[in-house]
Amino acid sequence: MHDIRTIRENPAAFDAGLARRGAGAMADTILQIDSARRASITASDTARSDQNAASKLVGAAKAKGDEAEFQRLRALVADKKVDVARLEEAARQKDAELRDLLLTLPNLPDASVPDGADESDNVEVRRWGTPRAFDFTPVEHYDLKAVATGMDFATAAKLSGARFVVLRGAVARVHRALAQFMLDLHTDEHGLTEHITPVLVRDEAMLGTGQLPKFAEDSYQTTNGWWLIPTAEVTLTNSVAEQMLDAEALPIRMVAHTQCFRSEAGSAGRDTTGMLRQHQFEKVEMVSITAPADSMAEHDRMTRCAETVLERLELPYRTVVLCGGDIGFGAVKTHDIEVWLPGQDSYREISSVSTCGAFQARRMNARMRDADGKPDFVHTLNGSGLAVGRCLIAVLENGQQADGSVTLPDALVPYLGGKRRISAEGVLTA
């Protein structure tokens, strides 16, 4: 959420930031509501002051025995009391109107974010690894012989409908190994603290990280009001909601492996075959809470953490910085990491790493006190480290062999009992 004081001080800069996202100007509308709210507060304060002054005179009039003045002042106090209630309610309504509007507006891109309208304007930062030259035509993950029995979309469709999958046998074990490998890397080498969190949350948690109110249709809500998390960003970030943190406690670096749930309401017709885009999937999520001065450096650090997963798995990737028109709702700046999928002959997103500045912290009232005791909002960052299902796809497609088997990365062998191959029959072998 935005700081109204910043908008008051420089409305043109606020609108310019929205324009970089392709959004229309909003400063005038915001300031009109804010002006009406402040006017109601001022009028309410004046009416309350008048009420208090008249109340003091009531006793004096009664003591003097001036019945007419006593009755006049009593009536005046009653009128002022009504005025105060009316004006306070008007101020509350304007305050709610202003907050509701600000909650729907996206964050403003950092100056270092490139201009652009959509993903075609994103800027590549670097590449790692060389896509393998196959001596046969590589296929997509769902056409591999090695997964014919281990990746079951038909049973999942019978159970739940489209965009679900049942994994079994060797494929399920490799999927589990990937998540364990990611967690071990992030905790042992990257210094993140592992968390196990709920996957059901209240409205306030979804509001705090920006899924509500604007993107309610993209998430699932239970009949008793809980929301299924679309990412552990929601639970990890909100773990510091309504807190005042000491500067010495920062940065806080967290990681969690959870199920995630998304309706994919805006993705009709996209990636309908295979498990690239699912309603239910697993993800290892990284979240950092930092002092404002440290968030950009932490953003680069988190990006490297995600990239390291792919490097250890020997998967070629590229990293791009998203343009103003493509960054997510709450982000100030985002790096997308795209892994090479030979079956599609293209790079596909496997991680988004974003810094949100104080945007989420202001929504959930997460603050810090610096060395001088001055309070300020913390900065929040989040990133996939990585999406487990998409990583499974990349491992299968990049390791596929002409006979339909799959050779697995060395980094996974310790998690698979020394096995390093899925045979064409779908069996883990040495």
Annotated binding site: 231-233, 262-264, 285, 349-352, 382, 384
The CA distance from 278 to 164, in Å, is: 6
Q: Which residues of 296-328 are buried (b: 16+ CB within 10 A; e: fewer)?
A: bebbebbbebbbbbbebbebbbbbbbbbbbbbe
Closest to 388 (Cα-Cα) out of 215, 216, 186: 186
Catalytic residue chosen out of the listed positions 44, 239, 295, 352: 352
Single-letter code of the amino acid located at 46:
T
Q: Match 């491992």 to its residue by tokens.
A: 395
Annotated binding site for ATP: 262-264, 349-352
Query: Is 352 among the catalytic positions?
Result: yes
C-beta separation of 324 from 113 below 8 A: yes
Catalytic residue chosen out of the listed positions 390, 397, 405, 421: 390
The terminus-to-terminus CA distance of the chain in angstroms comes to: 53
C-beta separation of 335 from 125 below 8 A: yes
Classify residue 223 by burial, with Cβ atoms within 10 Å: 0-12, 13-18, 19+: exposed
Query: Is 390 among the catalytic positions?
Result: yes
∠ at Cα 328 (326, 330), nearest 5°?
A: 140
Query: Is 277 among the catalytic positions?
Result: yes
Catalytic residue chosen out of the listed positions 253, 262, 362, 363: 262
C-beta separation of 274 from 140 below 8 A: yes
Query: Is 163 among the catalytic positions?
Result: no
193 in helix, strand or coil? strand
Dihedral sign (CA 142, 147, 152, 154):
positive
DSSP string, 265-322: TT-TTSS-SSSSS-SEEEEEEEEEEE-GGGHHHHHHHHHHHHHHHHHHTT--EEEEEP
Catalytic residue chosen out of the listed positions 277, 304, 367, 420: 277
Query: Is 262 among the catalytic positions?
Result: yes
Which residue intervals of 194-274 are DSSP H helices?
Answer: 203-209, 233-238
Annotated binding site for L-serine: 231-233, 262, 285, 382, 384
Catalytic residue chosen out of the listed positions 314, 318, 349, 367: 349
The CA distance from 90 to 78, in Å, is: 19
Question: How many CB atoms within 10 Å of residue 276?
Answer: 21
- Torsion, Cα 189 192 195 200, to 10 degrees, reads -120
Active site residues: 262, 277, 349, 352, 390
